[in-house]
Amino acid sequence: MGGEVESVGAAEARSALAWWLEAGVDAAIQEDARNWLKPASAIVREKAAASPAPAETPAPDTLAQFREWLATSEHLPMAGRAARRVLPHGCERAAIMMLAEAPEDPSGPIGGDAWELAKRMLAAIHIPVEAAYSAALSFFHAPGARMTPAERDALAEIARTHIRLAAPERLLLLGEGPCQALLGKPLAQARGHVHKIEGVRTVATFHPRHLVNRPLDKSLAWQDLLLLMEDES
């Protein structure tokens, strides 16, 4: 049939078989016949129809119900076997809600040295930590995961529900992700302006993690905090 047939030794065959088994291929045949001439688009449509639709964002009446959904739902964006759930913390109707990017560690929405700096930022504007609400755009610590545009849109809708139910007096967006998701613009364009999200006075600034690495930008973040705390006329 054209060309030489290269023989494979028993050791090589066992090695190849072991690789396929590790990849989850444990049979060389399918139970159902496959139409190899079917257009690829038809196969994609069939797979999409067979896949369960993702759960819709709930319409809870209270923040407690919403947080219970966050704690138990298996259909949240960015969920995965290697992801660790990271829940928001704080009180309803807080003086300020901080909405950060995806958690960098599982200790909280803003973790590690970044959280220590966030607490100092709150103290600088005379807000006790217990009077603040801390959350992240994503509810999972998933190292190496990249947020798709569809996931970002879904998380933006969830964030709007979150903000409406938490009902903070002011909202501080921390970092690029929340700005892109909720304002549709990068942080550089969002900074220096007062926005309204779900009727809440909103200002964008750097994530504390950025400020830990680039302390020279703290003066710019201080200007953002002052803008956030200005009395509304």
Paired residues of 194 in beta bridges: none
Give residue limits of the domains in the chain: 93-229
**What angle, rounded to 10 degrees, do the helices at 218-229 and 112-124 form?**
50
Classify burial at 109, counting beta carbons within 10 Å of its beta carbon; exposed 0-12, middle 13-18, buried 19 or more.
buried
Beta strand pairing call for 132-136 and 170-174 = unpaired
- Cα–Cα distance measured from residue 155 to residue 162, given in angstroms and rounded to the nearest whole number: 10
From 51-60, 118-127, 222-231, the region with the lowest mean pLDDT: 51-60
Residue 201 in this model has a pLDDT that exceeds 80: yes
**pLDDT 10s digits, 129-142:** 999 999 999 999 98
In this predicted structure, what is the pLDDT of residue 59? 65
Query: With b meaning 16 or more CB within 10 Å and e meaning fewer, what string describes 203-231?
Result: bbbbbbbbbeeeeeebeebeebbebbbee
- Cα–Cα distance measured from residue 192 to residue 20, given in angstroms and rounded to the nearest whole number: 55
Which pTM was predicted?
A: 0.75
**pLDDT 10s digits, 159-192:** 999 999 999 999 999 999 999 999 999 999 999 9
The class of domain 93-229 in CATH terms is alpha beta
Q: Please give the average per-residue pLDDT across 88-100, as a whole number.
A: 97
Q: Please give the average per-residue pLDDT across 75-90, as a whole number.
A: 90
**pLDDT 10s digits, 27-47:** 444 444 555 455 544 544 444
134 and 110 Cβ atoms separated by less than 8 Å: yes
φ, ψ of residue 191 in degrees (nearest 5): -65, 150
Residue 6 in this model has a pLDDT that exceeds 50: no
pLDDT band at 72 (very low <50, low <70, confident <90, very high): very high
Q: Please give the average per-residue pLDDT across 95-109, as a whole number.
A: 93
Query: Percent of the chain at pLDDT above 90?
Result: 64
Query: Is 211 or 40 the better-scoring residue by pLDDT?
Result: 211
pLDDT band at 68 (very low <50, low <70, confident <90, very high): very high
